[in-house]
Chains A and B, each alone.
Chain A
Amino acid sequence: MIRFILGKLLYLVPTFIGITIIAFGFVRVLPGDPVLLMAGERGVSAERHAELAAQFGFDKPIWQQYLDFMGRLLQGDLGNSLVTKKPVLTEFLALFPATVELGLVAIIIATVIGVPVGVIAAIKRGSWFDQFSMTAALVGFSMPIFWWGLLLIILFSGILQWTPVSGRISLLYFFPQVTGFMLIDSLISGQKGAFTSALSHLILPSIVLATIPLAVIARQTRSAMLEVMGEDYVRTARAKGLPPSRVVGVHALRNAMIPVITTIGLQIGVLMAGAILTETIFSWPGIGKWMIDSISRRDYPVVQSGLLLIAGLVMMVNLIVDLTYGLINPRIRHK
C-alpha cells in the first residue's frame, strides 16, 4: 500500500514542475505591463519605468526569474502582490475559506440530492420520475450558470426580496473569524440570528454553484446503478430471493458508489471554474473573483502563485480520490 502511495506521489512530481512552468511562463508572456497599469492615463517616463521594472525584478532574463521564483517557492515564499504589496499567501488564506465554504455547501447539496435521485431513477427506470429527473439533470448540465445566477437574483432578491443581495453575512453581526467559515464562526459567536443570516447569504450562490455538479452526480449515479444491477452477483442475489431493498441497499449501492465517489471528487475542478463565475455574480469575497481581478490588473505574482495553488489543490484532491479508489477497490492497486 505504501509503495502504491509513494508511486502515485512520485508520479506527480514532473506534473507539478510542469505546472510551475506553465504558471510562471503564461504569466510572463501576458501582454500588458503592471507598471503601466499603475501609472494609468498619466503614463510613465522611460527612466521611471526602468527603475520600477528593476525593483520588481522584471529586468532579469526570464530563466533567471523562473529560478528565483522556484527558489522562493521552495522556501514557501509565493511573492508579494504588486497591487496591495502584501504576501500572496496571506491574501490567499484570507479569501480561501470563503471559497471552500461555498464549494463545500454546494457539493453537499449536489450529493445529498444527486445520489438519491440517481438511485431512485435507476430503480424505477423508465418511470415518470426517471424521465423527469433525468431531463431536469440534463437541463442543469446545460445551464449557463452565470445567467442562472442573474435570474435567481432578479427573482429572489429583486422581486420577492427573500434573500440578501450579496456578501456573506449581515453587517449587523461582527465577530472574530476563528475558522473563516461564516456558518461555523457565527455559531461560535453565539450572537442571535447570526447563523440564519450567514445561511441566507449562502443559499443562492451555493445553489448556483451546485447546479452542474448536481446534474453530473445524478446522471452518474443512475448509470452506475444500472450497470451494477446488470451484474451477475446482483442477479444472483435477486435470484436467491433477497428482498429488493437489501439487493439495492447492500449489493448494488455499495458497488455503484465507487465511480460515484470518483465523480464527486472530480467535481472540484468544475467547482473552481464555477466559483469564478458565481463569485463574480454574487460579489463573494473568494479565490475565483480574486483571480479574475488579478488577471485584469496584471498582478503577476498573484496570478502565477494563484494558478499554482489552485492547480496544486486540484492535484491533491485528485490524488486523494485516486487513493480512496485504490482502497475501496484492491484490483486497481495491483495493476
Chain B
Amino acid sequence: MKILTRSLIAASALAMVSAVPALAKTFVYCSEASPEGFDPAPYTAGGTFDASAHPIFNRLVQFKKGTTEVVPGLAESWEVSADGLEYTFKLRQGVKWHSNEKFTPSRDFNADDVIFSFDRQGNTGNPWNQYIAGITYEYYNSMEMPSLIKEVVKVDDHTVKFVLTRPEAPFLANIAMPFASIVSKEYADTLEAAGTKEDFNNLPIGTGPFKFVAYQKDAVIRYAKNADYWGEAPKIDDLIFAITPDAAVRLQKLKAGECHLMPYPAPADLEAIRADSTLKLDEQPGLNVAYLAYNTTVAPFDNPKVRKALNMAINKDAIIDAVFQGAGQAAKNPIPPTMWSYNDAVQDDAYDPEAAKAALEAEGVKDLSMKVWAMPVQRPYMPNARRTAELMQEDFAKIGVKVEIVSYEWGEYLKKSTEVGRDGAVILGWTGDNGDPDNFMGVLLSCAATGEGGANRAQWCNEDFSALLSKAKQTTDVAERTKLYEEAQMIFKDQAPWATIAHSTQFVPMSAKVSGFTMSPLGDFTFESVDIAE
C-alpha cells in the first residue's frame, strides 16, 4: 500500500495539472460497481471490464465501436484455414506497453505476450496460472477454451497461430471478449523477479488508450491518457471513475456536475432526465432477453399447447409499462432484435385471455395452480421480477389459473431453478457476451444445456432445434448461419418452452457537454473517443 501511494504522488504531479483549467480535460464517470481487480481474465463482472479491459487493455480482435462486428485490434489481419481449424494472426508492430514506477518496458508488444496471455489461463502448469491463490478463469472455461484450443504457436515475433480441435464459428467473437485481453509477459517477469506478483492485478500494465494511475477501494479510480496509444489518441487527458452504487445518488451527482456520465439510471427518473436541458439521454435496445421458463418435463407444462395458452394470457404491454416504465420492448424471440439472424417473421402469441382460457379447456386442464419463481435481485434485463410476477399472477387469475409466487436467495435461486424436477415456471433472463446468436440459443435452449446445473431452465430438449444450432456453429458463412438460426426461432416459437417477456432498453444519461460517446450493444462503457465541451 505504501509503495502504491508513493507512485501515486509521482503520477499525481501529472494528474493534478488538471486543476489548471483548459490545459487538461478531466472526464468523470459515475460507475456503478467497484472493480473486482484490474486483471480482466479472472473476473466476470461487466463493471470490472469497464475499469480494466476497456481502458487499459486491448484484444487481438475487438468489437467495432457501437456494434458486435469483429475488427482488427492488436492483430492487423488474420487468415482462417479451409477446414476452420487454424487461425493465423498478423500482429500489429510498434505497439508500446504502458510504464509505471516499477516497470519500464524494454520492448514493444509481440507474439510472446499473446502466447502468455492465453497459456496462463489454460495451462495449470504455468507459474502465472495461480499468481493469486484461489484464482480461476471463469470466462476462459465457460467459453470452452480449454477443450477448443489445441495449441497457440509462435510463427515469428509478429505472427501467431491458434490451432483448434474443432471448427467453431463464434471463435473470433469469443477472443474479442475482455477475458482474452493481451497482457505483458515482460511485466509479469519483472514482477516475478521482484516477488510482487499480486501487483499484476493491482497496478495493471496494458496497451490501451488509458494508463492506470490509482485506485482507492470502493471510491475512485484514476486513469491518464496514453500519449503513445497505437490507435486514435483519447481526447481527454484524465479519466476518473467515481464509484457510486446507488442509482438515485448517481443521478444527483450528474445533475450537480460532479460527473459527466452515468450508467443504469432508475427507470423512474428517465422523465426528469429528459426534461433537464443540461443533460442528454442516449438509448439503445440492450442485447438481452427476459423470459419465463416453464418446466417442459412436468405435466401439464409438457404440452406445448398449454404453454402457448399461458403465453397468450400474459399482458406484456402492462409489464413493460409498470415494471420497465416503458424502457423495454415486448419480446417474441429468444434473441434481441439488434442481433443478426433475428427472425422478424415470427408471430408472437397475442394477448387474448378469452382464447387462452378456451385453449386450456380444450386441453382438459382445469383448476390449474402453479408456482411462478421471481428472482430476488435486479438485473439489466429485469428491473423488478417480483413486480412482474405479481402482474402475471393477476393475468393468470383471469383465465382461472392460480399462481403462487416463490423466491429464494439469489445463489439458491440460480441453483434450484436448474433442478430437473423443479415445480413452477422461472423468471430469468440473459445478457449477451459477444453478440453471437449461439451465445443465446446454444447456451440457453440446446439439449446440451439441459439437466441439473445447465442453463436450459425449461429443460427443453428439441432434437430438430439442437441440430440446427450445432450445424450453425460449424458453419463460418454468416448468410448460411443466419438461415439456420431463423429456422430455429420458428421451432422455438411453435414449441413455446418460454414465455418471452421483454428486451430492456439501455439508457445512458450524460451531461449535455459530452460528445463522442457511443453506446455499446454489449453494455460496455468505453471512453477513448469522448470529449467535453468547455
> What are 22 inter-chain pairs, A to B, with CB distance below 8 A?
A31-B412, A37-B414, A41-B414, A41-B428, A43-B418, A43-B453, A43-B454, A43-B455, A45-B453, A45-B454, A52-B136, A80-B133, A85-B36, A85-B134, A166-B253, A167-B219, A170-B258, A174-B12, A281-B246, A282-B249, A289-B218, A296-B410
In the assembly, what is the distance between CA of A188 and CA of B242, in Å?
Answer: 23
In the assembly, what is the distance between CA of A164 and CA of B218, in Å?
Answer: 17
Q: Which residue of B lies closest to A165 (CB)?
A: B252
In the assembly, what is the distance between CA of A90 and CA of B449, in Å?
Answer: 39
Within the complex, what minimum Cβ distance (angstroms) separates B71 from chain A? 26
Q: Is A310 part of the binding interface, using a Cβ–Cβ cutoff of 8 Å? A: no
Contact across chains for A176 and B142 when beta carbons are under 8 A apart: no
Q: Is A9 part of the binding interface, using a Cβ–Cβ cutoff of 8 Å? A: no
In the assembly, what is the distance between CA of A48 and CA of B134, in Å?
Answer: 14
Q: Which residue of A lies closest to B15 (CB)?
A: A174
Which 10 pairs, one residue from A and one from B, show the smallest C-beta to C-beta distance?
Answer: A32-B411, A285-B218, A165-B252, A43-B455, A94-B217, A176-B5, A285-B219, A37-B411, A85-B132, A32-B409
Contact across chains for B256 and A164 when beta carbons are under 8 A apart: yes
- Quick one: which of A85, A168, A296 contacts B37, CB cutoff 8 A? A85
Contact across chains for A171 and B218 when beta carbons are under 8 A apart: no
Contact across chains for B409 and A56 when beta carbons are under 8 A apart: no
In the assembly, what is the distance between CA of A95 and CA of B132, in Å?
Answer: 21
If A32-B411, A41-B430, A82-B134 are given as contacts, then 4 extra A-B residue pairs at C-beta distance below 8 Å, sorted by A number, are A153-B252, A165-B249, A170-B258, A174-B214
Q: Is B110 part of the binding interface, using a Cβ–Cβ cutoff of 8 Å? A: no
Chain B residues whose CB sits within 8 angstroms of the CB of A166 once the complex forms: 244, 246, 249, 252-253
Q: Which residue of A lies closest to B136 (CB)?
A: A52
Q: Is B81 part of the binding interface, using a Cβ–Cβ cutoff of 8 Å? A: no
Within the complex, what minimum Cβ distance (angstroms) separates B467 from chain A? 22
In the assembly, what is the distance between CA of A157 and CA of B220, in Å?
Answer: 21
In the assembly, what is the distance between CA of A44 and CA of B411, in Å?
Answer: 12
User: Would you list which residues of chain A between 59 and 116 have a CB under 8 Å from chain B?
Assistant: 80, 82-86, 90-91, 93-95, 98
Within the complex, what minimum Cβ distance (angstroms) separates B461 from chain A? 15
Contact across chains for A157 and B132 when beta carbons are under 8 A apart: no
Within the complex, what minimum Cβ distance (angstroms) separates A280 from chain B? 8
Q: Is A49 part of the binding interface, using a Cβ–Cβ cutoff of 8 Å? A: yes
In the assembly, what is the distance between CA of A38 and CA of B16, in Å?
Answer: 38
In the assembly, what is the distance between CA of A95 and CA of B216, in Å?
Answer: 9
In the assembly, what is the distance between CA of A91 and CA of B219, in Å?
Answer: 13
Within the complex, what minimum Cβ distance (angstroms) separates A42 from chain B? 5
Q: Which residue of A lies closest to B242 (CB)?
A: A171
Q: Which residue of B lies closest to A177 (CB)?
A: B5
Contact across chains for A157 and B252 when beta carbons are under 8 A apart: yes
- Quick one: which of A82, A83, A94, A174 contacts B222, CB cutoff 8 A? A174
User: Would you list which residues of chain A between 25 and 43 have a CB under 8 Å from chain B?
Assistant: 31-34, 36-43
In the assembly, what is the distance between CA of A174 and CA of B239, in Å?
Answer: 13
Chain B residues whose CB sits within 8 angstroms of the CB of A164 once the complex forms: 256, 258
User: Would you list which residues of chain A between 185 and 243 have a CB under 8 Å from chain B?
Assistant: none
In the assembly, what is the distance between CA of A42 and CA of B135, in Å?
Answer: 19
In the assembly, what is the distance between CA of A14 and CA of B138, in Å?
Answer: 41
Q: Which residue of B lies closest to A93 (CB)?
A: B1
Within the complex, what minimum Cβ distance (angstroms) separates B30 from chain A? 10
For A239-262 the 0/1 string (1 means CB < 8 A from B) is 000000000000000000000000
Q: Which residue of A lies closest to B259 (CB)?
A: A171
Chain B residues whose CB sits within 8 angstroms of the CB of A46 once the complex forms: 452-453
Within the complex, what minimum Cβ distance (angstroms) separates B39 from chain A? 9
In the assembly, what is the distance between CA of A34 and CA of B198, in Å?
Answer: 22
In the assembly, what is the distance between CA of A36 and CA of B419, in Å?
Answer: 13
Q: Is B470 part of the binding interface, using a Cβ–Cβ cutoff of 8 Å? A: no
Contact across chains for A290 and B218 when beta carbons are under 8 A apart: yes
Contact across chains for B219 and A34 when beta carbons are under 8 A apart: no
- Quick one: which of A38, A80, A174, A178 contacts B138, CB cutoff 8 A? A38
Within the complex, what minimum Cβ distance (angstroms) separates A183 from chain B? 15
Q: Which residue of B lies closest to A296 (CB)?
A: B410
Q: A41-B429, A283-B245 are in contact. Are A36 and B411 (CB under 8 A)?
A: yes
Chain A residues whose CB sits within 8 angstroms of the CB of B15 once the complex forms: 174
For B196-217 the 0/1 string (1 means CB < 8 A from A) is 0010010000000000001011
Q: Is A135 part of the binding interface, using a Cβ–Cβ cutoff of 8 Å? A: no
Chain A residues whose CB sits within 8 angstroms of the CB of B428 once the complex forms: 41
Contact across chains for A167 and B242 when beta carbons are under 8 A apart: yes
Q: A85-B37, A285-B243 are in contact. Are A37 and B6 (CB under 8 A)?
A: no
- Quick one: which of B1, B256, B408, B455 contacts A94, CB cutoff 8 A? B1
Contact across chains for A176 and B219 when beta carbons are under 8 A apart: no
Chain A residues whose CB sits within 8 angstroms of the CB of B218 once the complex forms: 95, 285, 289-290
Contact across chains for B19 and A172 when beta carbons are under 8 A apart: yes
Within the complex, what minimum Cβ distance (angstroms) separates B410 from chain A? 7
Q: Which residue of B lies closest to A286 (CB)?
A: B218
Q: Is B44 part of the binding interface, using a Cβ–Cβ cutoff of 8 Å? A: yes
Chain B residues whose CB sits within 8 angstroms of the CB of A95 once the complex forms: 217-218
Contact across chains for B28 and A171 when beta carbons are under 8 A apart: yes
Q: Is A127 part of the binding interface, using a Cβ–Cβ cutoff of 8 Å? A: no
Q: Which residue of A lies closest to B11 (CB)?
A: A174
Contact across chains for A83 and B36 when beta carbons are under 8 A apart: yes
Q: Is B322 part of the binding interface, using a Cβ–Cβ cutoff of 8 Å? A: no
Q: A41-B429, A43-B455, A165-B252 are in contact. Are A31 and B409 (CB under 8 A)?
A: yes
Q: Is B415 part of the binding interface, using a Cβ–Cβ cutoff of 8 Å? A: yes
Chain A residues whose CB sits within 8 angstroms of the CB of B138 once the complex forms: 38-39
Q: Is B9 part of the binding interface, using a Cβ–Cβ cutoff of 8 Å? A: yes
Q: A80-B134, A90-B1, A283-B245 are in contact. Are A32 and B412 (CB under 8 A)?
A: yes
Contact across chains for A85 and B430 when beta carbons are under 8 A apart: no
Contact across chains for B44 and A44 when beta carbons are under 8 A apart: no
Chain B residues whose CB sits within 8 angstroms of the CB of A161 once the complex forms: 256
Q: Is A129 part of the binding interface, using a Cβ–Cβ cutoff of 8 Å? A: no
User: Would you list which residues of chain A between 141 and 182 have a CB under 8 Å from chain B?
Assistant: 153, 157-158, 161, 164-168, 170-172, 174-178
Chain A residues whose CB sits within 8 angstroms of the CB of B410 once the complex forms: 32, 37, 296
Q: Which residue of A lies closest to B132 (CB)?
A: A85
Q: Is B233 part of the binding interface, using a Cβ–Cβ cutoff of 8 Å? A: no
Q: Is B443 part of the binding interface, using a Cβ–Cβ cutoff of 8 Å? A: yes
- Quick one: which of B9, B19, B408, B414 contacts A39, CB cutoff 8 A? B414
Within the complex, what minimum Cβ distance (angstroms) separates A296 from chain B? 7
In the assembly, what is the distance between CA of A281 and CA of B18, in Å?
Answer: 30
Q: Is B279 part of the binding interface, using a Cβ–Cβ cutoff of 8 Å? A: no
Q: A31-B412, A84-B36 are in contact. Are A55 and B429 (CB under 8 A)?
A: no
Q: Which residue of A lies closest to B135 (CB)?
A: A85
Q: Which residue of B lies closest to A34 (CB)?
A: B411
Q: Is B240 part of the binding interface, using a Cβ–Cβ cutoff of 8 Å? A: yes
Contact across chains for B132 and A80 when beta carbons are under 8 A apart: yes
In the assembly, what is the distance between CA of A134 and CA of B421, in Å?
Answer: 61
Within the complex, what minimum Cβ distance (angstroms) separates A75 from chain B? 14
Q: Is B149 part of the binding interface, using a Cβ–Cβ cutoff of 8 Å? A: no
Chain A residues whose CB sits within 8 angstroms of the CB of B16 once the complex forms: 174
Q: Is B8 part of the binding interface, using a Cβ–Cβ cutoff of 8 Å? A: yes
Q: A36-B415, A283-B244 are in contact. Are A55 and B134 (CB under 8 A)?
A: yes
In the assembly, what is the distance between CA of A262 and CA of B258, in Å?
Answer: 42
Within the complex, what minimum Cβ distance (angstroms) separates A292 from chain B? 10
Contact across chains for A36 and B258 when beta carbons are under 8 A apart: no
Chain B residues whose CB sits within 8 angstroms of the CB of A84 once the complex forms: 36-37
For B458-499 the 0/1 string (1 means CB < 8 A from A) is 000000000000000000000000000000000000000000
In the assembly, what is the distance between CA of A28 and CA of B135, in Å?
Answer: 21
Chain A residues whose CB sits within 8 angstroms of the CB of B142 once the complex forms: 39, 42, 44
Contact across chains for B217 and A283 when beta carbons are under 8 A apart: no
Q: Is B141 part of the binding interface, using a Cβ–Cβ cutoff of 8 Å? A: yes
